[in-house]
Amino acid sequence: MTAELVPTIGLEVHMHLATRSKMFCGCRVAYDARPNSLVCPVCLGMPGVLPVMNKLAVELSVRMALALNCTIPDFAKWDRKHYYYPDLPKNYQISQYDQPLGINGYLDVETPAGTRRIGITRVHLEEDAGKLMHAEHGNYSIVDLNRTGTPLLEVVSEPDVRGAEEARLYAETLRQLAVYLGISYCNMQLGQMRCEPNVSLRIGAGPDGKPLYTPISELKNLNSFRSVERAVTFEIARHRQEYLADPGNYTLAKQGKSTRGWRDDEGISFLQRSKEEAHDYRYLPEPDLVPFVPERAWVEELRKNLPELPRARRERYIKMGLSEETADMLLAEAFVANFWDVFHETLEHHQGAGKWPIKRVLELANNWTLQDVRRALNEKTIDAPSLHAEFAKQLADLVVLVETGVINRNTGAEVFNKMIKAKLDLNPKSAAEIVKEENLAQTSDSSAIEAFVDQALAANAKAVEDYRGGKKASFGRLMGEAMKASGGKANPQLVKEILLKKLGG
């Protein structure tokens, strides 16, 4: 008997989709609402109600399936998965059993041992259950059904993962892709992403040449990458030990599959359900929902609109001269990276590549805060990616106006705020339009500036005297007064020069 035991791990990852409403009803998806305030007859499973598919949820799922290189079958349907639990008011979960939205894909994962291609068995859509909690005192449990019916995407991998670190890296790569594409926010504390590794060891081959395995353990609902790695490490060691203690008996053929929980504080897994107690889900086609038959043209449109995926884009950024850290910052979400690309391109276009070293462009992008832009436009991140491209271009145009002296830095900040406001009012305006409409262009006409300086000097005789008496700090005061006289539009550099000349310094 060979002693080579090869970890054979598949992962099931669940993600809440980034929709505003639930999968089959109009209840809002939120995490901080009053308990049982986001429920309706549909998600409460009242008799006689009719669920209707959320279009965006279906679209996001197919997008994710495409990004995972899946085939999109011509026909997908819904099924009921039955089990009794107080967090599931209908006593069945609407899911997809044998005809999911996506099949046969893969995800490339960077590992210390090189790129590993992990097969994706299927991508299917279902609804989440509610939350069950145990009352502190008293012999009862309590249920909040706000989460019931939240669109839940499940990505099932092939058992291609070969170790605990690889399992973690797979989950992290999947998360990056989902967040980047705006599929899910994947906030693990909020339960928006949960991982369930299936762990088994390949023991060798049986007499018929087919591989033999230790029993499969399914680790339930891990909600951090760290616990994925720790739980899988623990489970591999446990399997090894159990197998070596009783090689004839500790096999998949004899013991099947069991479900295990993970106690993070103790660092151990524990048996939840053995094969004998396994659920009998009695899947059956969902009569209340009609099938989904994706039109080929629609699928191709979604495929075409997928942005450059994170791996390729990261390489491009590093070639461009950005640090790995900056590249990862930009790649956190596709729209931030899109913003950067358009911003960079617009500046380059303006005066030629040489004029804008990458470091300077990055500095400008940061000064005109990617963060602020992100916050201001957060509401519209998912459904209007073009908005950002357009806005990035306008912002780059604004930076050009400042950098070429058409407006000064302070006016630039003012124009920036006006652009954001105009955008949120759905009446977008370019920087140039705002500058023109409000007559904000900087004055570089020296005779006009001289007049402003004279005005400031005449009105502030005391400050002039102080300055000449050696109190250099008064200069700032005079400078401010001259700028004020110009309505903030004077070119500050010229004001400074003329003021110095007039003060005889």
- CA dist 79 and 97 (Å) reads 6
The DSSP result for 287-339, as a single string, is TTS--B---HHHHHHHHHTPPPPHHHHHHHHHHHT--HHHHHHHTTSHHHHHH
Nearer to Zn ion, 21 or 443 (CB): 21
* Binding residues for Zn ion (CB under 5 A): 25, 27, 40, 42-43
Look up tokens 């043209």; give the residue.
297
The CB-of-38 to Zn ion minimum distance in angstroms stands at 7
- Distances 386 to 64, 152, 345, 390 between C-alpha atoms, Å: 19, 26, 15, 6
Nearer to other proteins, 52 or 353 (CB): 52
Q: Under a CB-based contact definition with an 8 Å cutoff, are residues 415 and 422 in contact?
A: no
Listed residue (22, 31, 85, 82) closest to 53, CA to CA:
22
- CA dist 199 and 163 (Å) reads 9
- Total residues contacting other proteins (rule CB under 8 A)? 66
Listed residue (94, 157, 156) closest to 126, CA to CA:
94
The CB-of-375 to other proteins minimum distance in angstroms stands at 22
State the binding string over 354-373 for other proteins (x if CB under 8 A, else -). --------------------
Among 69, 106, 132, 496, binds other proteins (CB under 8 A): 132
Residue 191 gets the label, from left (phi > 0), alpha (psi -120 to 50) or beta, of: left
Q: Is 285 among the residues that bind other proteins (CB under 8 A)?
A: yes
Which region among 139-147, 229-237, 241-249, 361-369 touches other proteins (by CB under 8 A)? 139-147
Nearer to other proteins, 145 or 331 (CB): 145
Nearer to other proteins, 140 or 458 (CB): 140
Which region among 85-93, 361-369, 415-423, 467-475 touches other proteins (by CB under 8 A)? 85-93
Q: Is 93 among the residues that bind other proteins (CB under 8 A)?
A: yes
The CB-of-48 to Zn ion minimum distance in angstroms stands at 14
Q: Is 321 among the residues that bind other proteins (CB under 8 A)?
A: no
Nearer to other proteins, 55 or 210 (CB): 55
Q: Is 292 among the residues that bind other proteins (CB under 8 A)?
A: yes
The CB-of-282 to other proteins minimum distance in angstroms stands at 7
Among 291, 321, 357, 476, binds other proteins (CB under 8 A): 291
The CB-of-427 to other proteins minimum distance in angstroms stands at 23
Q: Is the dihedral of CA 13, 91, 125, 24 positive or negative?
A: negative
Q: Virtual CA dihedral for 172, 327, 381, 105, nearest 10 degrees?
A: -40
Q: Is 83 among the residues that bind other proteins (CB under 8 A)?
A: yes
Task: Compute how many other C-beta atoms are within 10 angstroms of the C-beta atom of residue 126.
Answer: 21
Q: Is 441 among the residues that bind other proteins (CB under 8 A)?
A: no
Q: Which amino acid is at 76?
A: A
Q: Under a CB-based contact definition with an 8 Å cutoff, are residues 185 and 18 in contact?
A: yes
Residue 178: which of other proteins, Zn ion, none does it interact with, CB under 5 to 8 A by kind? none
Q: Is 140 among the residues that bind other proteins (CB under 8 A)?
A: yes
Among 272, 274, 443, 455, binds other proteins (CB under 8 A): 272
Among 3, 6, 71, 86, binds other proteins (CB under 8 A): 86
- SS3 (DSSP) at 105: strand
Q: Give me the half-sphere count of Cα atoms (radius 13 Å) on the Cβ side of residue 446.
A: 8
Q: Is 282 among the residues that bind other proteins (CB under 8 A)?
A: yes
User: In 305-445, which residue ranges form alpha helices assigned H by DSSP?
Assistant: 310-320, 324-330, 334-351, 358-367, 370-377, 385-403, 409-424, 431-437
- CA dist 274 and 217 (Å) reads 9
Q: Is 274 among the residues that bind other proteins (CB under 8 A)?
A: no
Name which of residues 38 to 57 contact other proteins (CB under 8 A): 38-41, 44, 52-57
Would you state the structure tokens that stand for residue 200, as one six-digit string? 């088994």
The CB-of-55 to other proteins minimum distance in angstroms stands at 4
Nearer to Zn ion, 24 or 368 (CB): 24
Cα-atom radius of gyration of the chain, to the nearest Å?
Answer: 31
Please report, as ranges, the residues that interact with other proteins according to CB under 8 A.
14, 19-21, 25-28, 34-41, 44, 52-58, 75, 77, 82-88, 93, 99, 126-129, 132-135, 139-145, 152, 196, 220-221, 261, 272, 279-280, 282, 285, 287, 289-293
